[in-house]
Structure 1
Amino acid sequence: MFILIFNILLAQNKVGKSIPDSTHITRDTIQNKKEKLEDILNTQGDEIRNLFSKKLTYLIHNAKVDYENMSIAADYIVIDWNSGDIFARGKTDSLGKITDNILFTQGDKKFEYKEAVFNMKTKQGTAFNIRTDEDEMVILAEKAKRVDDENYYMRSGIMTTDEYFKAKKDSLPDYHLSTNKMKMITGKNQKTLVAGPTQMYIEQFPTPFILPFLYLPSSGKKREAGVLIGTFGERQTKGFYLERWGFYVPIGEYLDLESRFGVYTKGSWMTDNKLRYVKRYKYSGNFNIIYEKNITSTKGLDDYSEIENYRVVWSHYQDSKANPTLSFNSAINFVSQNYYNNSIYNQNALNGSVNNNQASSSISLVKRFNNNPLTISLNASASQNITSGNSNSGDVTMILPNLSVTMPQVYPFSPKSGAKKGMFQNIYMDYKMNLQNTVNTTMDDIFTSKMFDNSKNGITNQTNFGTTANIFNYFQIGINGNYKEAWTTKTIKKDYNLTENKLEINNHNGFKSYRTFGGSASISTTLYGMAKFKKGGVIESIRHMISPTISYNYMPDFSSDSWGYYGTYINQSGQKIKYSYFEGGILGDPSNIENSSVSISIANNLEMKVRDKNEKSGVKKIKIFEALNISTGYNFAADSLKWSPLIATGSSSVFNSKLKINYGMKINPYKIVFDNPTNNNFGHMVDKFGYFTIASYTMGLNFSLDPSLFGIKEDNYSKKYNKQGQIRYEKYYFDDENYAHFYIPWKLNIGLNYSHTKEYNRFSTTSATVNITGEVSPSPYWKITGSTNYDMESREFGYTRLGFMRDLRSFNISFNWVPISSGYNKTWDFYIGIKANLLKDAIKYEARNFNDNTNF
């Protein structure tokens, strides 16, 4: 079933009934004005005859007449020099039937006729069996009158967007719109088709879909206002509805407005308003506000509910050509708590948005300077926690604003041209100042005075400096330092109240600052090992690349009294507890641990070359380990547990990178004991080295499959089979016995993620999930897509979606199904409609289920 509704914006067309031939042309009743030709009339033809007594010229075979910006090409043309009339006729066969049309061209407009009379003086005329293309549409009519350059009247016409009929690959369209009267306006700014009562035909059969009139603005520079077509139906908990109806209004040269609404007889309603703007080479963007009132059941009943949902979106993009030194961009997405999982318009379950647990927004203004390395950035952002059922659900973190001044690395002693040499010329420094203002609030308190109760602010100034150099041509050394200064107006003071036996934390307002610094030095090199094998074997060589790095890092302990960054209090046991005045602040805490450590890392890469006849070079490179990195460290300043955990990470790929493997492991070198009387399942490390235990390990597999993995390519069929189909069978190839063969494209991505974590726990926890996405076209015009994930620990499937699509020549059919989802978000939708943009919003049928908090 189709929903076919005319509107100011609608556009599409279709063809159906045959156009009768015309072998005799009747003189039209248009009265010619007594005017003269305004330009030279050029003629040509294989045979030219002049009848001077009647002032007639006959152009026979390959005839052509050019006048001003108009041209007529036909097999037979007669020019009446008295009246200025030109009679033209297409090529005829032995029975007198016209087989080739006349081609009339004016500027970029082209028309085809069987026969026509055109007056060069008045530029009016009449044509029979006309055919013309207008963008995605082809129009045919039995008779047409040309009034002037822009207006044409037609009778007994048909319209279609069938690509095969438009390209003349098929003599009949798969659908068309038929009308007795129509007018075509072909202006410079707008092409418009207006028709009387119009009926739709499918495969030449009439349908009951009839419009009282049709108005199709097909193309042009000018935009026009109009009605936007939605859907209608009935839902059990919402009643009868009109959904996604609306209007479109262009506003000036750079703006337009799209407004849609939905109303439901049981009280629910929604509105969706989108304002778009664009200025070429300057900026573009859109502002979208969605508001819903979702009413379930009947007022007074126990299951009655009334929920307000909203979404505010603002996207702005500034073209880099507008101002290279100043840019402004925004990506606002602010939603109500239940928008994604309880919207009236159930699209969120189909597109996967129902699984969103965060909504983020950001605005940025960046200023750069010519001939100056400084960059000034002003940013504002917000992050919403919208996970249903989460204890933190509804929390909002806002940065209002964040101002930063950045200077990238500069080399003050480098030469103006040429490469930098030596440690002195490679000395660098950078700088960044960052002013932060953070607000932590809830959706209930947002945009109220309470939202600033938990605000935090501060300024950091940080600079890094250092140098690099090569020594002995094989070693790279680096020396680096850093300095950070932090300013804030909010600190804390802790006191233990022995009377009430509780810890009291008091906030203090006033300027407070801290400063930290540190340094590091590193040396690295790269070693290569090569093993070559005998000629004639499968393996040609193996190469092992090792990149070891040793670095020393130092940072003081800033918790000592001399720095003044930490305070103390006496707890109920009489112990002195040290704490940071900046604890919980936006700037972080100065380090309370001295770091004087050596870090060791070894990066490995292992590749193998094998002989392969399918490769042009005869050799194929296989990466056994794309990366295998091992690292650890030793802190000289620590009083115990000096060794850091041993961490190993790696990645490999096989089957032409179709299978990618990532893995990692963490090993603790010290003994873990479980002596906590209150929780014997949670332990701690003691200073006994050599008890290597696996704290965690992870593995991820990603397998991407497609026909190319098995050597199957689409061009294999054209090379193997000589015969190819036509008219919707172009993708079929036929063997000598006329059996059809076709390429079946498909993709399958399988992801496996496994993690095992123990750390200080007596019992380990594991996580294993499988993610599968894929698509296949079992025939050239069918496509099936799907995605799912499976938790092997809980043995449950997660969000699952299936999609079925069918190309029906001029129509598309799709069916999307979400059989498994969180909560009550299982759903499906069905669509069938015209492919062409002109009519895709007009000739369509849509249906979807609405679970409305009921089981699927």
Structure 2
Amino acid sequence: MSKRSKVSRNYTPVLTGLLLLLFFITFRLSAKSNIEWQYLDTITNNSDTTILDTIKKTIKDTLLKPAGDTLQKVNDTLPKPSSVINAPDSFFVADSLNGADTSAKVPVIDSMIISKDSLSSPIEYSAEDSGVLIIPTRQFYLYGKANAKNGDIDLTANNIQYDQSTQVIKAFGGIDTANNPLSKPTIVQGGQTTISDTIEFNLQTQRALAKNSYYNEGELYVNADKVKKITKDAAFAYRARFTTCNLDTPHFDIRAKKMKIINNKIAVSGPAYPEFEGVPIPIVIPFGIYPLSRGRHSGLLPIQFTTNESQGLGVEGIGFYKVMNDNWDVTARGNIYTYGGWTLSVNPKYFKRYKYQGNLNLELQNTRTLNSYGFAKDEFSKSRTFNITWSHSQDTKAHPGTTFSASVNAGSTKFNENIPNNPIRNYNNMLQSSISYSKTSQDGKYNLTVSATHNQNSNLRLQNISLPNVSFTVNTIYPFEQKEPTGTPKWYEKLGVGYSGNVRNQFSFYDTAFSINRILDTARFGAEHTIPITLSLPALGPFIVSPNISFSQLWFGDKHDIFWNDAAKRVDTVTQRGFYTASRMSYGVGVNTRIFGTVNFPKSKNIVAIRHEIKPTIGFSYTPDLVGQHFKRIQTDTVQGGHYNLVSDLGNTVYSMYSPGRSGTITFGLDNLLEMKVKNKKDTTGEEPTKKVKLIDGLSINTGYNLLADSLNWSDISINFRTTLLNNKVNVTGNALISPYGVDVTGNEINDLLWKHGSFGRLTNAGFNISTSLQSKSKDGKTQQERIQADETLTMDEQLAELQYVRDNPAEFTDFDIPWTLQLSFAASLSRLQRSNFTYVNQFNSSLNVNGDFSLTPKWKIGGNFMFDVKNLQIGMLTMYITRDMHCWQLSINVTPIGITRSFSIVLNPKSGLLRDLRINRSRYFSSSY
């Protein structure tokens, strides 16, 4: 490849800089004091110093007069000097003042009118060597690192020439003593840099010629041997090339012999070809169209070719991007496979600053996969699925007090399984959606929310839709509070009353048996109203007493008569439609305080003290039995003569029924905080000799005892734990629910305290999670916040989708400035599930997740994502990649050997965001056998 410098195609900054030079040459020539003026011998050799001084004064007062509306003619009386007697008449005007001879003439420049493009702000200019003004030929020269500045424009060159008679400005570079380029004509404006060997520009015709130019804007670098400017915005380039590599000799570029450039719009070339490491690639593009406009613009989207074992050869990413207006655009993409399958997606996005933003994405799949099983009836399996996502958010400034948001993700249950090379979505079995509108009163006391929700389980193929959901709340009102408080408030003034009401409607159905009648049969209605009454009493020493009263009521749209069918030996249910209610009343009082304890270690070298904080709470609540008539005991099975359970005729999937029976419960709670103060060895100033280290962020234990129950008086013991380790790098959380009672053979609790048998209790539910995210120090010293630049035009769902894309394609976003990263998490859970026959069974799940990468060398990195099912001792998901940094290009190899779809791909693509879709790839997909 040629080692000559790069070439520019944008001459708007050049034109502006040259006009700048014309301005200060004509009007501000005396503004800078560090330029030595040298005159022709015809002026400086004149022995009449008085005449010479007068001429200099005339030049200063007229030719170099500061910019005004127009240049005025000279009216000073001045005899015509003999040394310039042969000067052109155009340089002299008659002097008619004071009766002088009208034939006498004085030197003067032709009258001029300032162009509309002239700049009004001051201009700073300088030259290291000298500045030369030649009056007879009307030429001006700056030598030696000449520089001119105006606003954000900065023009530098080794030699600048201006000829007023031809209106041509020329700028040249130079060479140093080692024949290296020196002070090439350079214009810097708004972060854009243009460098050329020579620039020649005609101010009158606006035509220009630049040789060996180099232009850079953002990630784009443009070069050309010659650029001929024919109008203000159009130019022709000879032997031009485009690249995103910032080296003098780039690793790659796209070359074209001839090109036409329209500034900030488009560039069109004839035949073009790519070049790598100076070697032309035998791939010729018949013509090239290169959009130069900033921001969004419509156009075709790039495609890629793939090979899929089950779907055949494919062309993916066929599409078009269309900008409708400043507020929304549409992207349409499609995939086609040789076995007959296809996919189509339409994605409109909209954004209005300070109002709202969002996007809609509709995807259709027509899957036709080859059956690889010998027992298959048909050669191909066919399925049609769809998925729709919609996200919308409203700016809080648009309508204060009113919000509308949407987050929709719904579709066919098998849609995610048919997406190739995406194990994250292949294993996503839950889809959830919500749409919400909320209105808050101006005083903030009332809030109304109307929403709709949806969730579906791809494994069970069960879908639940809840709409409309209406929630109305009234913040606590203090009816006895004085409007204009005076003195100490009375205790009864702290009596507060609130209200909360919720109405829900839910439909449940299986997508394998979808019908309107089935949906109507599963329709459920429910509502709940709650009126809490609270009273804040003054503190009694270290104790805070808080009494409360609460009334709530449930509304149901159906009633279920559940009974044991002796003939069929099963539990049957008869449902009746109607309007039914159930109420609950509770009275309570709570007392809480805080206890502190500190242990000092004066002789310890590291530990200064350990501090323990305890927050005990005790309360009493009474709830009368207002729902006992809705419960009865029925037989549930035939094991050993049958077991019996307590069931209710009210309650559904929307709201659960209140517990039966009276209760007078004493509740106990204990929360703990443990922290340690240690000596700060890193502090050498003595300002922070100690630092705090949290050992336990929180450890709470809660239980209760029902004084009025005839059996099973003790409540389950709830334990919650949380802490951080290694300077908040490791997060640990845990929870447990312990029952003090034993169970029978079916799993139902019996009135037998395990404490009497030397056991603390029976673990019914538990969860444990430990996670950490570690990484080495970055080589460039940037923080994580500096690396992530948020796009305000993206909604929260879009940002999450972008992050998900990064997770799904980690090799494309590898940061070689961070030598290694590691994310570890381990989760385990135990739950007690009730079966359809009212018996219980324990279920245990555990998984280990590992995600990270590390650099084998400064330019090679390996990474992956690994999920291990500890319960079943098998790998749930595994993806691996290895990537190579090739300066302006990146090579990545991705392998997914385990999962619903197994795949591998080799991708070579530029790192620049401008050429993100320009890639060379080889992909293979394989479907797992079941």
Matched, 1:478 2:543: no
Shift of 1:758: 9.2
Counterpart for residue 808 of structure 1:
886
Q: Which residue of 1 aligns with 2:919?
A: 844
The answer for the alignment partner of 1:287 in structure 2 is 360
Would you tell me which structure has more helix in proportion to its own residues? 2
> Which residue of 2 is the match for residue 244 of structure 1?
317
Q: For residues 927 and 414 of structure 2, what CA distance do their matches in structure 1 show?
A: 13
Pick from 729, 733, 756 the counterpart of residue 690 of structure 1.
756
Distance 1:790 1:422 in 2: 62
- 410, 424, 432: which one aligns with 2:492: 424
Task: Return the alpha-carbon distance in structure 2 between the equivalents of residues 317 and 757 of structure 1.
Answer: 36
Question: What is the CA–CA distance in structure 2 between the aligned matches of 1:682 and 1:567, rounded to whole Å?
Answer: 16
**Alignment map for 1:518-537 (pairs within 5 Å):** 518-535=586-603, 537=605
Residue aligned with 1:451, SS = helix
Question: Where is the strand percentage greater, Structure 1 or Structure 2?
Answer: 1
Contact 2:173 2:184 in 1 (8 A): yes
Is the Cα contact below 8 Å between 2:307 and 2:924 reproduced in 1? no
SS at match of 2:913: coil
Identity rate, percent: 24
The equivalent residue for 1:92 is: 175
Correspondence for 2:240: 157
Structure 1 residues without counterparts, runs of 5 or longer: 1-14, 22-34, 166-170, 388-392, 718-741
Question: How far 1:844 moved relative to its partner?
Answer: 0.7
Give the aligned partner of residue 745 of structure 1: 819
* 1:5 corresponds to: none
* Contact 1:117/1:127 (8 A) holds in 2: yes
Cα 1:237–1:624, aligned 2, differ >3 Å: closer, same or farther? closer
- 1:87-126 superposed matches below 5 A: 87-93=170-176, 98-104=181-187, 111-126=194-209
Counterpart for residue 408 of structure 1? 475
Return the offset for 1:115.
1.2
Match of 1:18 in 2: 4
Q: Does 1:364 align with 2:447?
A: no
Structure 1 residues 173-572: aligned runs within 5 Å:
173-186=250-263, 190-221=264-295, 223-297=296-370, 302-343=378-419, 346-349=420-423, 352-387=424-459, 393-413=460-480, 423-444=491-512, 446=514, 448-493=516-561, 505-535=573-603, 537-561=605-629, 565=630
SS at match of 1:208: coil
Q: Where does residue 908 of structure 2 map in the other structure?
A: 832
3-state SS, counterpart of residue 803 of structure 1: strand
What residue number does 2:24 align with?
none
Partner of 1:619: 690
Q: CA 1:451–1:337 in 2, change beyond 3 Å: closer, same or farther?
A: same
Q: CA deviation at 1:524?
A: 0.9
| Partner Cα distance (1:637, 1:513) in 2 | 25
| Superposed CA offset, 1:486-525 (max 9, x none) | 3333223457777888766433333332322212211011
In the alignment, is the contact (CA less than 8 A) between 1:445 and 1:451 conserved in 2? no
Distance 1:581 1:849 in 2: 57
Q: Which of structures 1 and 2 has the bigger CA Rg?
A: 2
Task: State the Cα distance separating 1:258 from its structure 2 match.
Answer: 0.9
Contact 2:583 2:627 in 1 (8 A): no
Which whole-Å CA distance do the structure 2 matches of 1:279 and 1:447 have between them? 40
- How far is 1:767 from its partner? 5.0
**Take 1:428 and 1:127, find their aligned partners in 2: how far apart are those partners?**
81
Task: Select the residue among 640, 644, 648 that pairs with 2:719.
Answer: 648
Query: In the aligned structure 1, how far is the partner of 2:2 from the partner of 2:903?
Result: 38
Deviation at 1:213, TM superposition (A): 1.8
Q: 1:155 to 1:635 in 2, by over 3 A?
A: same
> 3-state DSSP class of the match of 1:632?
strand
Structure 2: state its 5+ residue gaps.
8-110, 783-815
* CA displacement at 1:416 relative to structure 2: 7.0
Which string of whole-angstrom CA distances, capped at 9 and with x for unpartnered residues, describes residues 167-215 of structure 1?
A: xxxx3222222211122222xxx44222222221222222223322221
Instruction: Choose from 572, 579, 600 the match for 2:668.
Output: 600
C-alpha distance in structure 2 between counterparts of 1:443 and 1:756, whole Å: 30
- Report if aligned partners of 1:229, 1:244 keep a CA contact under 8 Å in 2: yes
Query: In the TM superposition, what is the alpha-carbon distance from 1:601 to its structure 2 partner?
Result: 1.3
- Identify which range, 469-478 or 519-528, moves more after superposition: 469-478
Contact in 2 for aligned 1:805/1:814 (Cα 8 Å): yes
Given the superposition, is the C-alpha separation of residues 87 and 456 from structure 1 closer, same or farther in structure 2, using an over 3 Å criterion? same
Q: Secondary structure at the match of 1:452?
A: helix
Do the aligned partners of 2:310 and 2:926 also contact (CA within 8 Å) in 1? Answer: no
Query: Following the alignment from structure 2 to structure 1, what is the Cα–Cα distance between the partners of residues 511 and 456?
Result: 8
Q: In the TM superposition, what whole-angstrom CA distance separates every residue of 1:568-591 from its partner, at most 9, and x where no partner exists?
A: 999999999975442336333233
How far, CA to CA, are the matches of 1:105 and 1:615 in structure 2?
46
Aligned length: 772
Distance 1:484 1:303 in 2: 61
Question: Per-residue CA shift, 1:670-717, capped at 9, x if unaligned?
Answer: 4x375x5xx6x8874436862334412857362536467xxx786999
Q: Give the drift of 1:123.
A: 1.7
Q: Which moved more, 1:809-818 or 1:104-113?
A: 104-113
**Contact 2:357/2:394, CA 8 A, preserved across alignment:** yes
Decide whether the 8 Å contact of 2:6 with 2:222 is kept in 1.
Answer: no
CA distance in 2, matches of 1:143, 1:158: 12
Change (3 A) 1:281 1:160: same
CA distance in 1, matches of 2:564, 2:153: 97
One-letter identity of the residue aligned with 1:695: R
CA deviation after TM superposition for structure 1 residue 396, in Å: 0.7
Would the aligned equivalents of 1:695 and 1:758 in 2 still touch at CA under 8 Å? no
Map Cα deviations across residues 747-793 of structure 1 (whole Å, 9 max, x no partner): 33433345578999999876554332333234444443323233344
The answer to whether the Cα contact below 8 Å between 1:489 and 1:509 also exists between their aligned partners in 2 is: yes
Bigger Cα displacement from structure 2, 609-618 vs 319-328 = 609-618
Change in Cα spacing, 1:248 to 1:715, as seen in structure 2 (3 Å) is closer
Instruction: Give me the TM-score of the superposition, normalised by structure 2.
Output: 0.75
In structure 2, the residue matched to 1:168 is none
Instruction: Show the 5 A alignment for 1:638-787.
Output: 638-670=709-741, 672=742, 684-686=750-752, 690-691=756-757, 692-696=759-763, 698=766, 700=768, 702=770, 704=772, 706=774, 745-754=819-828, 767-787=845-865
Q: Is the Cα contact below 8 Å between 1:622 and 1:654 reproduced in 2? A: no
Counterparts of 1:246 and 1:54, CA distance in 2:
62
How far apart are 1:385 and its partner, in Å? 0.9
SS in 2 for 1:798: strand
Q: Is the 8 A contact 1:433 1:461 kept in 2?
A: yes
Letter in 2 for 1:363: I
Q: What secondary structure, in the 3-state scheme, does the structure 2 residue paired with 1:777 have?
A: strand
Aligned Cα root-mean-square deviation (Å): 3.9
Residue of structure 2 in register with 1:134 after alignment = 217
CA distance, structure 1, for counterparts of residue 704 and residue 877 of structure 2: 42
Which of structures 1 and 2 has the larger relative contact order (alpha carbons within 8 angstroms, sep 6+)?
1
TM-score by length of 1: 0.81
Q: Is the 8 A contact 1:695 1:759 kept in 2?
A: no
